[in-house]
Amino acid sequence: MRLQVKRTVSQLVSLFFANLGMRGLKTGFCYPFLYCHSCPYSMAGCPIGIMEHAVYKGKISLPLLLYPILLFSSISSIFGRAICGWICPIGLLQRATSRFSKNKLSKYLSAKIPDNIKNKIRYAKYVNLILLVIITPYLIGFMFTDVCPVGFLVGTIPIGLTNYGKFVPNPFFLPALVVFILFVVLITLSSRGWCKYFCPLGALMAPFNKISLLHVHVDKERCIHCNRCVEACPMGIDVPNMNRSMECILCGRCIEVCPKSAISYRLKL
Amino acid sequence: MYRGMPKKCDKLQVEIMKKNIPAIIIFAISVASLSYIMVATHVYSDVKEKIVSVLCLSCIKMDPKTVLEFRFETADGEDFPEFVLENLSKGPVFLHFRIDVCPACDEMDPIIGEIFDIDDIEKTILVKTKNFSGVKVTLIHINLDHAGGTFRDAYRSFDISKSGSVPMYTIVTLGYDRGIVKPCYATGYSFLGESSPVKAKKILVEMIKNAVELYRINREGY
C-alpha cells in the first residue's frame, strides 16, 4: 500500500474515532489533535479547550493544564509532529483543499510574499499558543476557542445543520464566522496554511521534532538535488537541508517522490 | 553509560545515541506523570463532566431558539426536583445554571444580579428571594462544575433543548392542566435569541412577570 493511501486510511480512522460520541460515548479523554468537544458527536475534550479551562480567569488547575501537555509530550517525543500529518482531521481537510492552493492566485501571492516574511509568519502559531491559549484566558477570559475556526467547522456548523431551525446565532457567532472565512481562504490559498502559520497544537508539538525518535532522514550522499522533495513538501520545507525541521509533519510526501530513495523514515532507539 | 558499547562504535554513533536520550527521558517522565495524573487526580472526570458533557453556548456560538412556553412535563420525564417544589410553596423559582469557563455566562451573570439585586453572584450556589408585584420569587444560582448530583439532575430535567449547554434559565411556577394546578416551567438559554445581554434582560424580566402572574392566578388551587 502506498504511503499516502496509508495516511488517508489513518486520518479517516482517527476521524471515525473522534466522532464516537454519536454512539453516545462521552469520555474524559483528551484528543491528541485539534478537534472540538462542541461537535455533537465528539467523544473527548479539545486539548486547547482543556488548557484554557485550566487557567481561565486566574483559577489555575495544574492537573488540567498538564493533562494535554503531557499527552502531547509523550506522543511527540516518539513521533514528532507525525500527528499533524497522519492523525489530525484538520490535516485531512487541508489535504483536500491543497489542490486549490496550486491555482494562479495562490502562486502569484506566494511569489509576492518574500520567504523571510513567510518564515516570520510561522511564529504566529507560537504566539497563538502562548497568548490566546494561556495569557488572555488567564488575564481577561478571552480564549482562542471563542473564535476557533475548527470549533466553528466541527461544532457550530454541524449543530446548526442537525438542529436546523432550532438554534439562532448569538453575539459570539459573527467574530467566529469572520475567522472561519479567513481560515477557509488561508487553507485554499496556502497548502497546509493552518498548520504552517496558526495551529497552536502544531506549536506545542514542533519543538519535539528536534529530539523525537522518529524523523525523516535525508541521505545527502545519495541526493542529486532534483528538488522534487521541496516541490512536494506541503509545509514548504527545504527538505535536503531541513536538519530535523520543526515544521516537518512526517507526511512522507518527500519520501515517495525521491527518485534516488535518499529520504526515509528513521526510528532510532 | 556507554562503557559497555563496542569499541568500534565511532563518535558519530555516540552522538546519535546521546541525541535520543532526551526523547526517551521526556517520554518516560511524560508517561509516568500522565499516568499519575489520570490515577491520582479527578482530571478524567473533570474533563468528562465539566468540559465534554456540559457545553458553554459561547463555544457553540449559537443559542437554542427560545420559545418561552410553560410546560408540565420535564425534559427527562422525571418528577420536579424536591428542592424546587419546597421553594415553590413560597413563590416561583428561578433557576440559573452556569459553569466555570463560560464567557456567555460571564456576560449574563451581572444581568441576573441586576434583576435580583445581587452585587456579587460569583458563588457556587446562591439562593436569593426577591419580591415581584407582591409575589416572592426565589433565585437559585447553580454552578454545575461545583454542584452535587441533585442540581445536575435538575439541570437535565429542565434542559428542553437537550443540548447540554449553559447558561440556562428556568422559571418554575404553577399552571392549570386539565382541571389540576401543577408545577410548570419555562426554559431559556444564553442571550435568549437576542443580540446583547441588555436585550436578553428584558425577556428574562418578562419571563418572570408571566411566571408571577401564573402563580398569582393558580396558588389558591395548589
Tell me the three cell numbers of residue B6.
563496542
In which element (H, E) is residue A82 found?
A: helix A82-86
Contact B76, B168 (CB under 8 A): no
Distance from CA of A100 to the nearest CA of B (A): 29
Q: Which residues of A touch B9 (CB under 8 A)?
A: none
CA distance B169 to B94: 7
CA distance A260 to B187: 67
Q: What is the ipTM of this complex?
A: 0.89
What's the order of all strands across the beta sheet hosting B93-98? B125-132, B135-143, B93-98, B168-177, B180-189
Task: Quote the pLDDT of residue A35.
Answer: 95
CA-nearest of A200, A266, A196, A203 to A236 is A196
Chain B residue whose CA is closest to A78: B23
Distance from CA of B91 to the nearest CA of A (A): 31
Write phi, then psi, for A144 (nearest 5 degrees): -55, -40
Task: Quote the pLDDT of residue B221.
Answer: 78
Task: Quote the pLDDT of residue B6.
Answer: 53
Mutation to test the A interface, candidates B62, B66, B108, B124, most A Cβ within 10 Å:
B62
Q: Quick check: A165 and B52 CB within 8 A?
A: no
Amino acid at the residue B87? N
H helix intervals, chain B = 11-40, 43-46, 57-60, 82-88, 103-115, 149-158, 197-218
CA distance B207 to B70: 10
The sign of the dihedral angle between the CA atoms of A177, A182, A183, A189 is positive
B195 touching A, CB under 8 A?
yes
Q: Quick check: A66 and B37 CB within 8 A?
A: yes
Chain B residue whose CA is closest to A30: B47
Distance from CA of B102 to the nearest CA of A (A): 9
Q: Quick check: A53 and B191 CB within 8 A?
A: no
Contact A256, A233 (CB under 8 A): no
Q: Which residues of B touch A56 (CB under 8 A)?
A: 100-101
Size of interface A-B (CB pairs under 8 A): 153
The pairing of beta strand B135-143 with beta strand B93-98: parallel
Task: Quote the pLDDT of residue B4.
Answer: 47
- The residue behind cell 534516488 is A260
Residue B162's alpha-carbon distances to A23, A147, A166, B53, B183, in angstroms, are 16, 24, 11, 11, 20
B23 touching A, CB under 8 A?
yes
Chain B residue whose CA is closest to A43: B52
Compute the mean pLDDT over every residue in chain B, rounded to the nearest whole number: 88
Chain A residue whose CA is closest to B163: A40
B67 touching A, CB under 8 A?
no
- Out of B37, B47, B104, name the one closest to residue A70 (CB): B37
- The residue behind cell 527518485 is A259
CA angle A224, A8, B31 (to 5 degrees): 90
Q: List the 127-156 stretch of B: residues with Cβ below 8 A of A.
A: none
Q: Quick check: A211 and B48 CB within 8 A?
A: no
pLDDT tens across the length of chain B (222 residues): 444 455 555 665 556 556 688 899 999 999 999 999 999 999 999 999 889 988 888 888 998 887 778 999 999 999 999 999 999 999 999 999 999 999 899 999 999 999 999 888 777 888 999 999 899 999 999 999 988 888 999 999 999 988 888 999 999 999 998 889 999 999 999 998 888 899 999 999 999 999 999 999 998 877
Region for A252 from its dihedrals, namely left if φ exceeds 0, alpha if ψ lies in -120 to 50, beta otherwise? left
CA distance A177 to B195: 15
Residue A102's alpha-carbon distances to A141, A187, B212, in angstroms, are 39, 11, 64
pLDDT tens across the length of chain A (269 residues): 689 999 999 999 999 999 999 888 899 999 999 999 999 899 999 999 999 999 999 989 999 999 999 999 999 999 999 999 999 999 999 999 988 887 888 888 888 888 889 899 999 999 999 999 999 999 999 999 999 999 999 999 999 998 888 888 888 899 999 999 999 999 999 999 999 999 999 999 999 999 999 999 999 999 999 999 999 999 999 999 998 999 999 999 999 999 999 999 998 76
Contact B174, B167 (CB under 8 A): no
Distance from CA of B31 to the nearest CA of A (A): 6
